Chains A and B, each alone.
Chain A
Amino acid sequence: MTRKIFIIFLILFLISLGVIFLNQSRAILFLKHFSGEILRPFEIVISTGRNNFFFWQSAIFNIKSIKEANIRLTGENLEFYGKIAKLATVENENSLLREQLNLSKKSITVMLAAVIGRDYQSNRSFVIDKGTGDGVKNGMIVISKGESAIGRIADAGYNSSKVQTILDAQSRIVAITASTHVSGLARGLGSDIIFDLIAKDKKPETGELILSSGTDGIWPRGLVIGKVKEIKSSDNQVFNTANIEITVNIVEINDVFVIIK
């Protein structure tokens, strides 16, 4: 290897090291946000084009299964009409009972945001088209349909924000199982998520839902994290752990909700 190549490598290596170490400095933050703001409109255009492209590609290649699904869903829809009628009655009863018991209704205000950029071959993070200009702040919770936990706002720019998903190794959620009420910590591993710190004498059931407990003061109570896939228990370990199957395929979501309050 020539001396010149090694010198170039050394200079660039030191530059990248400097950028990593000065990650939170004003100059780097300004540069990141400024470049992010320029990227945003292009990302919106390309991600919209991509969504349309894949929608039509999927529609053309899966026309048979779409037809079959349509017939099945039409049948299911009729069943749901009956259930909706019953649900309306139950909701009325529920609100009356809440009034009698002086219980406040759980209400959250959300904002719809579109996913405009993603991490390379991982679901650790993505970029949404809402930023501080729309009322988004760092630390806000991001959910999907069905109140499934997706992640938190990690870096809010003026017009776009980066979301750190629950799969990221820095993600921690105090969680509880839905039916057996076993508490633990849902911890991201980068690709997967595990239910950790389960008391030795407690074992959740395979397939049961894991919800955020709300006791960490960060994640609201009752958000769906996933299902218990496999329980791991060993005599030489202090706690039991369980693998979690997340309910939402993060790579396939195009729209999310940011909890404003």
Chain B
Amino acid sequence: MSDDYKKLIYFFTALLFLFFLSVFQASFLNPSYWGFNVFLILILFFVMVKQYNKAFFIALIGGLFSDLSRFSYFGASAMALIFLVLILITARQKIFFTLTSGSVLLLSVMAIVFYRLLQWVINGGAAILSHGAFESFSFYFWSSGILTELIVTSASLFIIFKVTENMKYRI
């Protein structure tokens, strides 16, 4: 099989995988109290292992799929995730040169805080432009959800790196 066919198959498999992940996120994770975002975890993982193109791909496609079950501006989550990838790449290249447990934790904190901030800015900006109202800042930051998300996200990344410790992605 030629490389072009292989790439095409990989592309559609990845698309299908992200599609099912978005269903799982909207129908299983979001209604439960284990609030975490699987796309955020995947993006963090790919940024940490310096696979930046994959991180951007997940940000765009994952964001668009997420918006299918949200009453929001279609594309807003994708935009927030794309910005987030850029921020994380900059942090990875300028601050976190090596991948240690500390850097995994700090990048997770950064990702969660910036993602919420970007969501607030994009959704709030759109709300102000369309009907002059804004969404409260505290809604995005002062809830137990942020703590749970932080714990689950960093724990998931530690598990992923532990599982792959014999592979090239070793902390």
* Interfacial residues, chain A to chain B (CB-CB below 8 A): 1, 5, 8-9, 12-13, 15-20, 23, 28, 32, 35-36, 38-39, 42-43, 46-47, 49-50, 54, 115-122, 124-127, 154-155, 162-164, 168-170, 187, 189-192, 251
Chain A contacts for B143, CB-based, 8 A: 121, 191
- A173 CA / B37 CA spacing, docked (Å): 32
Does B79 lie within 8 Å of A13, measured CB to CB? Answer: yes
A15 in complex: contacting residue of B28, B60, B86, CB < 8 Å: B60
* Interfacial residues, chain B to chain A (CB-CB below 8 A): 19-20, 22-28, 30-32, 35, 37, 52-53, 56, 59-60, 63-66, 68-76, 78-79, 82-83, 85-86, 89-90, 93, 123, 126-127, 130-131, 133-136, 138-139, 143, 145, 149
Does A16 lie within 8 Å of B70, measured CB to CB? Answer: no
Does A28 lie within 8 Å of B74, measured CB to CB? Answer: yes
8 tightest A-B contacts by CB? A125-B71, A191-B139, A19-B75, A190-B135, A117-B26, A117-B69, A46-B27, A118-B30
The B interface is mostly helix, strand or loop, or mixed, namely: helix
- A89 CA / B59 CA spacing, docked (Å): 62
- A20 CA / B90 CA spacing, docked (Å): 25
Does B27 lie within 8 Å of A50, measured CB to CB? Answer: yes
Does A39 lie within 8 Å of B56, measured CB to CB? Answer: no
Closest to B128 in A: A169
A170 in complex: contacting residue of B56, B64, B131, CB < 8 Å: B131
- A19 CA / B85 CA spacing, docked (Å): 19
- A155 CA / B90 CA spacing, docked (Å): 38
Known: A13-B82, A36-B68, A39-B23. Is A118-B73 also a contact (CB below 8 A)? no
Known: A1-B93, A42-B23, A47-B31. Is A35-B65 also a contact (CB below 8 A)? yes
* Other contacts beyond A127-B69, A155-B71: 20, CB < 8 A: A8-B53, A9-B85, A16-B63, A23-B74, A32-B68, A36-B68, A39-B26, A43-B69, A46-B27, A47-B28, A49-B28, A50-B27, A121-B143, A121-B145, A124-B70, A125-B70, A162-B71, A164-B71, A190-B123, A191-B135
Chain A contacts for B24, CB-based, 8 A: 46
Chain A contacts for B127, CB-based, 8 A: 169-170
Does B71 lie within 8 Å of A117, measured CB to CB? Answer: no
A190 in complex: contacting residue of B23, B37, B139, CB < 8 Å: B139
Chain B contacts for A163, CB-based, 8 A: 71
Known: A19-B74, A19-B78. Is A39-B63 also a contact (CB below 8 A)? no
30 pairs, A vs B, C-beta closer than 8 Å: A15-B78, A16-B82, A19-B74, A19-B78, A20-B73, A20-B74, A20-B76, A23-B75, A28-B74, A39-B26, A46-B27, A46-B28, A50-B31, A117-B23, A118-B31, A120-B25, A120-B66, A121-B35, A121-B145, A121-B149, A125-B71, A155-B71, A163-B71, A169-B133, A169-B135, A170-B127, A170-B133, A190-B135, A191-B139, A192-B136
Q: Which one of B19, B30, B143, B149 has the highest number of Cβ atoms from chain A below 10 Å of its Cβ?
A: B30
- A49 CA / B60 CA spacing, docked (Å): 28
Chain B contacts for A15, CB-based, 8 A: 60, 78
Closest to B116 in A: A121
Does A191 lie within 8 Å of B138, measured CB to CB? Answer: yes
Q: Which one of A12, A39, A124, A192 has the highest number of Cβ atoms from chain B below 10 Å of its Cβ?
A: A12
Closest to A253 in B: B31
